[in-house]
Amino acid sequence: MKVHVKLFALLRQHHPGPNRSEPLAVELPDGAAVADLIPALNLPAQLVRHAFINNQQKTLDTQLAESDQVSLFSPVTGG
């Protein structure tokens, strides 16, 4: 299945393309979860903390479906 992934915050530096704001098309086996995107995109696991699927916050063990729009975020701090 193919999903589309956008990287945010500290994860953006791991985007392989010239335009880091463009979503990445990622092929995964059926039944894959959000966490399976981490090795597929060579992301540091400790930086992936929040995921949104089709604009809804989900956990990293949430199963993905064909054409899902996934946004991945690193830990967020502020003050």
As separate numbers, helices (DSSP H) first and strands (DSSP E) second, the chain gives: 1, 5
Q: Is residue 18 domain-resident?
A: yes
The pTM of the whole model exceeds 0.75: yes
Q: List CB contacts of 68: < 8 A, sequence separation 6 or more.
A: 3, 4, 53, 54
Q: Is residue 79 domain-resident?
A: no
CATH number at residue 48: 3.10.20.30
pLDDT tens digits in sequence order for the chain, 79 residues long = 999 999 999 999 999 888 888 999 999 999 999 999 999 999 999 999 999 999 999 999 999 999 999 999 998 766 5
* 10 token code pair: 């500290």
Q: Is residue 78 domain-resident?
A: no
- 30 is in which domain, residue-wise? 2-73
